[in-house]
Amino acid sequence: MTQDTSSDGFVYLVGAGPGDPSYITLRGVQCLKQADVVLYDYLVNPRILQHVRPGTECLCMGRHGTGKIWKQNEINSECIRLAQQGQQVVRLKSGDPAIFARAAEEASAFESAGIGYEIVPGITAALASGTCAGIPLTHRDKASSVALITGHERDGKGESSLDYDQLARFPGTLVFYMGVTSSRNWTGKLIEHGMSASTPAAIIRKISCPDQITVRCTLSEVPEWFEGEHRLRPPAIVIVGAVVSDTSLNSWFESRPLFGQRVLVTRATTQAEQFAAKLSDLGAEVVLQPAIEIVAPSDFTLVDQAIKQLEQTDWVVFSSGNGVRYFLERVLELGLDVRAFSQTQLAAIGPGTAAMLENYHLKADLIPDEYRAESMVAALTPHVENRQVLLIRANRGRDVLPNGLRDAGAEVEETVVYHSQDVDELSGLTEEALEEGIDWITFTSSAIARSSIKLLGDHVQSMKSASISPITSETMRELGVMPTVEASSHNLDGLLQAILEYRDA
């Protein structure tokens, strides 16, 4: 059913993919961006929710051992209720909505209620296996067909509808979903109906996730991996067939340099995603726990005054990318553009800040050799005597830069264009990750280091720590935390490189 042009609500059944947040489709992202409410399964990677608009309500449908677990009829009723209120609802499901995900039941309920809906496909776990585990489901010599099978049929269904005689003789690859607790039953029936007990099999747990586990074994050995103290737990799929023994695809996914490492990123939410994406590309599991929040000032009077005086300003000094963003956005909001900077020169404290200027089609005239206030003072000293300097900054930070420029003879005007405030509560996802163990924590400023160490308490001592600069390292040491590594280049790429070099040492 397609959406009409009225103001009626609508439901999108969106496949989130198997786990990696980048595996969602472009159409899925479009739906999330226009959603008023998102109802998501616990297996959905929470980083996918970054695509929703600020203020959008996101409701988890529950997980075992944590809060209420919504029943299917309750989920259907809630989607219908919200849509009847005129809201755009996204029902976000792990994998593909139409592969063992009850899309047909939900769609039927919406049809009966007269609610418009759209089903947006996603990558199902089986299809991700070739990419992430190096197992091609089809092979011109070994398998010309694939069967997707549930290992857990509906309770109360009575006699099984699976024909194990046919499955045992199936001329291709079998993929079992939801077959963990019933593995001894379905493997036994396959063997009983003639499939060799030594048929190659692979168990893939949490496919496409940073903690993915791939086990290659035989059909008869599958149940042993799901039993005992160290058993593999759901979610997992089991692939059965000759393709499992094929080695033409390598398991690049599990060979990435930070695979298996859990990294806590403490940057502000608005700054974290690009850094998190780079860590994820290297195989790390990223836990986002902002230590500070970046917000606009409640009153722009002083900022507006500084903008009006740009023609009389010789140098504008940006001490962070946030400063660039908040100042330039205010310039644009006032109806001005880059011509407002035609009479002034621009200094950026580092390459990241300079790159942010370039986003607004402005080029930094000066970037110091080192990403620190002392280096900026040294670089500007020959240029600022008896000159008007506008320093764009946060509400807190060291006074090295303004004091140093004044000592060099500059007339310095400081303008606060954003506020940095500490976060005082851990997210539930962070608390979960702390229980499981975090390998690395990253510190990208002194303010973040102070807030993170206060927020995490003794947990910090159990992690390896990565510092972006000597100034940040000094703050860490003052607070009793010794940096494991310090970036040689004082930017995010340098921080990543320091972690990688430590791993390779």
Report the range of poorest mean pLDDT among 23-37, 173-187, 367-381.
Answer: 367-381
Contact partners, residue 141, CB within 8 Å, separation at least 6: none
pLDDT band at 354 (very low <50, low <70, confident <90, very high): very high
Going by the DSSP 8-state scheme, the letter that residue 64 receives in this structure is T
pLDDT band at 157 (very low <50, low <70, confident <90, very high): low
Nearest CA among 393, 427, 416, 472 for reference residue 291? 427
pLDDT at 67 over 70: no
Mean pLDDT (the chain, rounded): 92
Together in a domain, 407 and 301: yes
pLDDT at 2 over 90: no
Each residue of 243-279: pLDDT tens digit? 999 887 877 899 999 999 999 999 998 788 889 999 9
Residue 5 lies in a domain: no
Expressed as residue numbers, the domain containing 56 is 10-122
CA atoms of 412 and 403, how far apart (whole Å): 9
CA atoms of 283 and 260, how far apart (whole Å): 7
Together in a domain, 224 and 79: no
Residue 241 lies in a domain: yes
Residue 1 lies in a domain: no
Average pLDDT over residues 351-360: 93
Query: What residue ranges in 128-271 does DSSP mark as E strands?
Result: 146-150, 173-177, 200-205, 213-218, 236-240, 262-265
For residue 131 the two structure tokens come to 């990419």
Number of H helices, E strands in the chain: 17, 20
Report the range of poorest mean pLDDT among 56-65, 193-202, 371-380.
Answer: 56-65
For residue 143 the two structure tokens come to 């398998």
Together in a domain, 430 and 285: yes
pLDDT at 238 over 60: yes
Q: State the CATH number of the domain containing residue 22.
A: 3.40.1010.10
Average pLDDT over residues 93-108: 94
Nearest CA among 224, 268, 324 for reference residue 442? 268
Q: Pairing state of beta strands 315-318 and 345-348?
A: parallel
Together in a domain, 276 and 340: no
Higher pLDDT, 378 or 1: 378
Residue 287 lies in a domain: yes
Identify the domain boundary among 97, 122, 147. Answer: 122
Nearest CA among 65, 113, 68, 123 for reference residue 89? 113
pLDDT at 458 over 50: yes
Contact yes or no for 138/126 (Cβ under 8 A): no
Amino acid at 199: T
pLDDT band at 81 (very low <50, low <70, confident <90, very high): very high
Question: What was the pLDDT predicted at 382?
Answer: 96
Q: Which residues pair with 318 in a beta bridge?
A: 348, 392
Each residue of 196-235: pLDDT tens digit? 999 999 999 999 998 899 999 999 999 999 999 889 999 9
Q: State the CATH number of the domain containing residue 323.
A: 3.40.50.10090
Q: State the CATH number of the domain containing residue 155.
A: 3.30.950.10
Apex CA 480: angle with CA 479 and CA 481, to 5°? 100
For residue 116 the two structure tokens come to 């418009």
Residue 2 lies in a domain: no
Together in a domain, 272 and 178: no
pLDDT band at 6 (very low <50, low <70, confident <90, very high): very low
Each residue of 315-342: pLDDT tens digit? 999 999 999 999 999 999 999 999 999 9
Query: What residue ranges in 262-361 does DSSP mark as E strands?
Result: 262-265, 285-288, 292-295, 315-318, 345-348
pLDDT at 122 over 70: yes
pLDDT band at 4 (very low <50, low <70, confident <90, very high): very low
Q: Quick one: CA torsion of 109, 111, 113, 116, rounded to 10 degrees?
A: 110
Amino acid at 120: V
Together in a domain, 307 and 412: yes
Each residue of 402-453: pLDDT tens digit? 999 999 999 999 999 999 999 999 998 899 899 999 999 999 999 999 999 9
CA 410 and chain centroid, separation: 44
Question: What whole-number percentage of the chain has pLDDT above 70?
Answer: 96
- Within 10 A of 283 (CB to CB), how many other CB atoms are there? 18
Together in a domain, 217 and 300: no
Rg (CA), the chain: 28
Contact yes or no for 275/265 (Cβ under 8 A): yes
Together in a domain, 362 and 417: yes
Together in a domain, 112 and 139: no
Going by the DSSP 8-state scheme, the letter that residue 71 receives in this structure is P
Average pLDDT over residues 11-30: 96
Together in a domain, 320 and 400: yes
Residue 444 lies in a domain: yes
For residue 114 the two structure tokens come to 């007269």
pLDDT at 170 over 70: yes
Together in a domain, 52 and 19: yes
Nearest CA among 390, 388, 395 for reference residue 296? 395
Report the range of poorest mean pLDDT among 4-8, 26-30, 93-97, 495-499.
Answer: 4-8
Average pLDDT over residues 470-483: 95
- What is the number of domains present in the chain? 4
Alpha carbon distances (Å) from 251 to 128, 131, 215, 416: 12, 8, 12, 50
pLDDT band at 155 (very low <50, low <70, confident <90, very high): low
Question: What was the pLDDT predicted at 66?
Answer: 61
Together in a domain, 310 and 398: yes
Identify the domain boundary among 122, 150, 175. Answer: 122
Average pLDDT over residues 285-289: 94
pLDDT band at 504 (very low <50, low <70, confident <90, very high): confident
pLDDT band at 5 (very low <50, low <70, confident <90, very high): very low
Identify the domain boundary among 98, 122, 146. Answer: 122
Alpha carbon distances (Å) from 246 to 91, 128, 139, 142, 302: 37, 16, 9, 9, 67
